Amino acid sequence: MPRWLPILAILISLPPAGLACDGNTPAGPDYDPDFDPADFVVGVDNPFLPLVPGTTWTYEGETEDGTETIVVEVLADTRTVAGIVAVVVRDRAFIDDELAEDTFDWFAQDRDGNVWYLGEDSKEIEDGEVVSTEGSWEAGVDGALPGIVMWADPAAHVGEEYRQEYYEGEAEDWGKVVALGQDVAVAFGAFAGCVRIEEWNDLEPGELENKFYCAGIGLVLETKEEERVELVEMTP
């Protein structure tokens, strides 16, 4: 799952809500999102998660392991996942200036404006060497399923639990819009009208993250227990 801020080859039309399931809290084998590659557009311009090639966000925070710096860059590259052309986002995490994780995430937007997470190629790094690819997955491969990372209209989904990804035993993140109209102040600036999304992972019970997304910017703040990672720079 992506930090900030992560396609099944069942070619059935996508419902207007962007996610079809039996109830608001699909689980395991009951989770069966329906969508058609024809219902997706090129690029991602959702106001709360705009992914314009060339944009870079830099985040900083203090963790129990040291000072964390996260650099997220929207690449000009694309990747086709189960017939859908996805935007490629590179996410690198550094601890005390040493690269600890290097991930390529794949996102696509449907015609209604919902942003889907289609998979990731994630590598954990120690002393310059890849030590794990745990958490990597691709929608439509080995039973992995995509999920929603940002709704076209977050206000219509307040309090609703939804899957952001599903690959059994590897990627099982959930999200829930818990607040609208939030004021957020970070090193990069002060913002109003932001959306707060609560996230958790079935594989790590009890751990909750709160992420704040602001229109025209994207993710500006992430909090988890005593940790706070905030936006310090954005280019262009």
Number of domains in the chain: 1
What is the band of 5 on the pLDDT scale with cuts at 50, 70, 90?
A: very low
The pLDDT of residue 1 is 54
Strands (E), 151-207: 161-163, 165-166, 173-186, 189-201
Q: Is the pLDDT of residue 143 over 70?
A: yes
In the block, tokens 């963790």 appear at 63
The pLDDT of residue 24 is 35
Domain that holds residue 87: 28-34+47-235
What is the band of 2 on the pLDDT scale with cuts at 50, 70, 90?
A: low
Give the mean pLDDT of 128-156. Answer: 96
* Domain containing residue 139: CATH number: 2.40.360
Please indicate, yes or no, if residue 204 is contained in any of the structural domains. yes
Q: For residue 88, what are the CA distances in angstroms to 13, 26, 47, 54, 111?
A: 24, 27, 18, 11, 19
Please indicate, yes or no, if residue 212 is contained in any of the structural domains. yes
Give the mean pLDDT of 172-190. Answer: 98
**Does residue 220 sit in helix, strand or coil?**
strand
**Close Cβ partners of 21 (under 8 Å, ≥ 6 residues apart):** 30, 31, 32, 33
Please indicate, yes or no, if residue 224 is contained in any of the structural domains. yes
Give the mean pLDDT of 210-230. Answer: 96
Please indicate, yes or no, if residue 23 is contained in any of the structural domains. no
Preceding peptide of 53 cis, ω within 30°: no
The pLDDT of residue 13 is 30
- Phi, psi (rounded to 5 degrees) for 193: 70, 30
What CA–CA distance (Å, rounded) separates 166 from 58? 27
Please indicate, yes or no, if residue 85 is contained in any of the structural domains. yes
Tell me the pLDDT tens digit for each residue of 83-102. 999 999 999 999 999 999 99
Please indicate, yes or no, if residue 66 is contained in any of the structural domains. yes
What is the band of 15 on the pLDDT scale with cuts at 50, 70, 90?
A: very low
**Does residue 30 sit in helix, strand or coil?**
helix
The pLDDT of residue 6 is 37
What CA–CA distance (Å, rounded) separates 145 from 123? 20
Please indicate, yes or no, if residue 11 is contained in any of the structural domains. no
